[in-house]
C-alpha cells in the first residue's frame, strides 16, 4: 500500500500523539480521516478538532462503515480482540498498526529518523522546523503538538520525511531510515525490554538498516550511544560538549532579547547561546529559547545533520532561534497570582533530572513545586531508586498515584512508597497528593508569589495546572 492509494482512513486510538500527527498529515494530503478513542481528554484533542477530524469517544463495530481504504490502530490495542479491528477484518478492510503505517511513509521519501531514550520529540520538531525555514518543505511526524505549527504533522512537498522513531515494542523493525540522529541510550520500557543489553541491541540493529550514503549523527556525550553506533559498523559523526566530538559545543553566556508577542506587546526572552566548531571551523553562534543543557545538545544534533545536508548555517541559526518548542516539553501554560505554571512530559529519572536542572538554572531564585505522576508500575519499580533521588532539585515534591496507562492495570509498587523513599533521603521534601484534585487542594494552600508549579509525567498530570488556572481568583 502507498499513501496515494488511500482516500479514506480510520484511526483506532486517534488521540495518541503519533497517531494524531499522522492523521493530520493525511488530512493535509486530501485524505478523509475519522477515528475513535476513549472519552479521556488528551492534549491532542485540540489539534484533532482544529484539523476538522471527526472521532468517536467509544469503540463500536458500527463505526466501521466498509468504505475505509485502511484502518490504522494504536499498538495499545490488539487486532485479535478489539471490536472495531475485528469489524474491519470481517469487511476485508486492510488493517495496519501505527508503526507499520509509519514505516510505509518512511519508504516514500528520504527519511530521517530521530531516536533515543530522551529528547527525540524536541529534536525531531526542531529539525523539521529548521528545514522548513530553509525552504526544504519537509514532511514530518512528531509525537507532540509543535507550537510553531499548531499540530504534530507536516505534509510537505520536499524530498525529506522527518519522523520521531519510538523504540518501544521494537517499532524500529517497521521503519526504513535514510539517516538517523541518536540523542542517547538510557534503559527504559522494562515491561518490554527486560535488560539494558536487550534495549541497547535494539538501537544497534536499527542502525544496520542505514544505507551507505545515509548519515548517522550521534551524541558524543553519551557513552552508550557511541558504543551502539560503533557496534553497528556504520560510519557516524558525533556532536556534543566532549572535546573529541566532531561537532563540538562551546556554551556562551545567556542573552536577553526583546520580542513582540501575538498581541503586539514587548517581552524579554531569555535565550541560551552556544557556538559549534567542526573541523577547525566555527559554524556559527546559535540561540535557543529552550531550557537546559540537554536542549543545547538536541539543537546541536540538528546543526550537525543540517551541515551534512549542506544547509546554510545562517538559516539553521534562524530556525533554531525561531523554534517555539513542543507541547508538554517545559511548556508555559499560564500564571496564577504571580505563580508561573509549567508542564513537562518527562517520565524517566534522567529526563526529570535534566528538566529540573534546566529550570533551576533559568530561575535560580524561585521556589520549585513539582507535581510528579509516575508512569507505569514496571518503570517505577525497575527505576525506583533513581526516581527517589532525581527530584531532589525541586523544593517540594507532590506525588500522584501511578498512571497505569493501557499497558498495565496494576503492580506491586506505589507512589506512597516512593514518597517514603524520597523522604528517607531528604525528610519532608515529598508529600503524597493522590489524585488531580488532591494536588490542586494542596497547591492552593501552599503556593505563593514567585513560585513555579511544574507538573511532570506522561499521563494526565497536566490537568493539575489546568484546574489551577480554572480556579484562579476563587
Q: Which of 259-273, 394-408, 420-434 has the highest mean pLDDT?
A: 420-434
Give mean pLDDT, residues 429-451.
93
User: How many C-beta atoms surround the C-beta of residue 421 within 10 A?
Assistant: 15
- Burial tier of 419 (Cβ tally within 10 Å: 0-12, 13-18, 19+): buried
Tell me which residue of 350, 394, 354 sits closest to 372, measured CA to CA.
Answer: 394
pLDDT of residue 258: 75
Q: How confident is the model at residue 255 (pLDDT cuts 50, 70, 90)?
A: confident
Kindly indicate the confidence band of residue 410, based on its pLDDT and cuts at 50, 70 and 90: confident
The residue with greater pLDDT, 337 or 266, is 337
pLDDT band at 92 (very low <50, low <70, confident <90, very high): very high
Compute φ and ψ for 48, nearest 5 degrees.
-65, -45
Q: How far is CA 86 from CA 7, 10, 32, 77, 350, in A?
A: 21, 13, 21, 11, 40
pLDDT at 335 over 90: no
For all residues of the chain together, what is the average pLDDT? 92
Give me the mean pLDDT over the 450-471 stretch: 91
- Counting residues of the chain whose pLDDT is more than 90, the rounded percentage is 74
- State the Cα–Cα distance between residues 305 and 308, nearest whole angstrom: 5
Q: Is the pLDDT of residue 408 over 80?
A: no
What is the pTM (predicted TM-score) of this model?
A: 0.84
- For residue range 111-139, list pLDDT tens digits in order: 999 999 989 999 999 999 999 999 999 99
Q: What average pLDDT does the segment 66-85 reach?
A: 95
Provide the pLDDT confidence category of residue 404 given band limits of 50, 70 and 90. Answer: confident
Cell (9 digits) for 96: 495496519
Please say if the pLDDT value at position 473 is more than 60: no
Provide the pLDDT for residue 164: 94
Average pLDDT (45-59) is 92
Average pLDDT, integer, range 421-448: 93
Mean pLDDT on 360-368: 92
Give the pLDDT score at 260. Answer: 64
Maximum CA pair distance of the chain?
Answer: 64
pLDDT digits (tens, 9 = 90+) for 274-327: 999 999 999 999 999 998 899 999 999 999 999 999 999 999 999 999 998 887
What's the CA gap between 343 and 366, in Å, rounded? 16
Phi, psi torsion values for 106, nearest 5 degrees:
-70, -20
DSSP calls for 344-403: E---SHHHHHHHHHHHHHH-TTSEEEEEE--B-HHHHHHTHHHHHHHTTTSSEEEEEPPB
Q: For residues 415 and 425, give the distance between their C-alpha atoms in angstroms, rounded to a whole number.
A: 16
The stretch 316-340 carries a mean pLDDT of 89
Alpha helices in 284-339 (DSSP H): 293-308, 313-322
The pLDDT value recorded for residue 472 is: 65
* Residue spans of beta strands (DSSP E) within 150-280: 151-154, 160-164, 179-182, 216-219, 237-240, 247-260, 266-278
Q: Does residue 145 surpass a pLDDT of 90?
A: no
8 Å CB contact between 428 and 434? no
Per-residue b/e over 345-370, b at no fewer than 16 CB within 10 Å? bbbbbbbbbbbbbbbbeebeeebbbb
Note the pLDDT of residue 262. Answer: 53
In 1-150, at which residue ranges do the beta strands (DSSP E only) sit?
A: 8-12, 32-36, 55-56, 70-73, 95-97, 110-115, 139-146
Using CA atoms, how far apart are residues 291 and 271, in angstroms rounded to an integer? 8
Dist. CA 283–CA 316, nearest whole Å: 10
The fraction of the chain above a pLDDT of 70, given in percent, is: 97
CB contact at 8 A, 144 and 152: yes
CA 236/CA 374 separation, integer angstroms: 35
pLDDT band at 465 (very low <50, low <70, confident <90, very high): very high
Q: How far apart are CA 352 and CA 371, in angstroms?
A: 11
pLDDT range class, residue 152, cuts 50, 70, 90: confident
Amino acid at each position: 500500500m502507498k499513501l496515494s492509494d488511500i482516500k479514506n482512513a480510520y484511526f483506532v486510538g486517534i488521540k495518541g500523539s503519533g497517531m494524531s500527527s499522522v492523521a493530520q498529515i493525511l488530512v493535509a494530503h486530501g485524505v478523509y480521516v475519522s477515528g475513535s478513542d476513549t472519552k479521556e481528554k488528551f492534549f491532542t484533542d485540540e489539534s484533532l478538532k482544529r484539523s476538522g477530524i471527526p472521532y468517536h469517544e467509544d469503540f463500536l463495530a458500527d463505526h466501521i462503515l466498509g468504505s475505509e481504504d485502511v484502518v490504522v490502530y494504536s499498538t495499545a490495542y490488539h487486532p485479535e480482540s478489539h471490536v472495531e479491528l475485528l469489524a474491519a477484518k470481517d469487511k476485508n478492510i486492510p488493517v495496519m498498526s501505527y508503526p507499520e503505517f509509519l514505516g510505509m511513509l518512511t519508504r516514500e521519501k528520504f527519511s530521517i529518523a530521530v531516536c533515543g531514550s530522551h529528547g527525540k520529540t524536541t529534536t525531531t520538531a526542531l529539525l523539521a522546523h529548521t528545514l522548513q525555514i530553509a525552504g526544504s518543505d519537509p514532511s514530518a511526524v512528531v509525537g507532540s503538538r509543535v507550537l510553531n505549527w499548531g499540530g504534530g504533522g507536516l505534509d510537505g512537498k520536499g524530498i525529506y520525511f522527518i519522523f520521531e522513531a519510538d523504540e518501544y515494542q521494537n517499532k524500529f523493525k517497521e521503519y526504513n531510515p535514510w539517516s538517523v540522529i541518536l540523542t542517547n541510550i538510557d534503559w527504559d520500557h522494562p515491561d518490554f525490554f527486560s535488560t539494558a543489553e536487550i534495549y541497547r541491541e535494539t538501537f544497534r540493529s536499527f542502525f544496520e538498516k542505514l544505507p551507505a550514503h545515509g548519515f548517522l549523527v550521534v551524541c558524543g556525550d553519551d557513552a552508550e550511544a557511541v558504543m551502539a553506533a560503533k557496534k553497528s559498523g556504520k560510519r557516524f559523526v558525533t556532536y556534543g560538549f566532549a572535546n573529541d566530538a566532531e561537532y563540538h559545543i562551546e556554551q556562551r553566556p545567556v542573552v536577553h532579547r526583546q520580542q513582540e508577542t501575538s498581541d503586539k506587546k514587548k517581552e524579554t526572552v531569555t535565550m541560551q547561546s552556544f557556538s559549534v566548531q567542526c573541523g577547525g571551523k566555527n559554524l556559527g553562534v546559535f540561540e535557543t529559547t529552550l531550557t537546559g543543557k540537554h536542549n543545547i545538545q538536541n539543537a546541536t544534533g540538528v546543526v550537525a545533520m543540517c551541515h551534512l545536508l549542506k544547509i546554510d548555517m545562517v538559516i539553521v541559526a534562524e530556525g533554531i532561534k525561531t523554534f517555539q518548542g513542543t507541547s508538554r516539553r517545559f511548556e508555559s501554560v499560564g500564571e496564577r497570582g504571580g505563580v508561573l505554571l509549567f508542564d513537562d512530559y518527562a517520565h524517566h529519572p534522567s529526563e526529570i533530572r535534566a528538566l529540573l536542572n534546566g529550570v533551576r538554572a533559568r530561575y535560580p531564585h524561585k521556589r520549585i513545586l513539582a507535581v510528579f505522576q509516575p508512569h507505569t508500575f514496571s518503570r517505577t519499580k525497575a527505576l525506583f531508586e533513581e526516581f527517589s533521588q532525581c527530584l531532589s532539585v525541586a523544593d517540594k515534591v507532590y506525588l500522584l498515584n501511578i498512571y497505569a496507562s493501557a499497558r498495565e492495570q496494576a503492580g506491586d509498587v506505589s507512589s506512597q512508597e516512593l514518597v517514603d523513599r524520597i523522604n528517607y533521603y531528604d525528610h519532608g521534601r515529598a508529600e503524597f497528593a493522590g489524585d488531580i484534585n488532591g494536588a490542586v487542594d494542596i497547591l492552593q494552600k501552599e503556593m505563593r508569589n514567585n513560585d513555579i508549579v511544574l507538573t511532570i509525567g506522561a499521563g494526565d498530570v497536566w490537568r493539575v495546572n489546568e484546574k489551577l488556572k480554572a480556579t484562579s481568583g476563587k
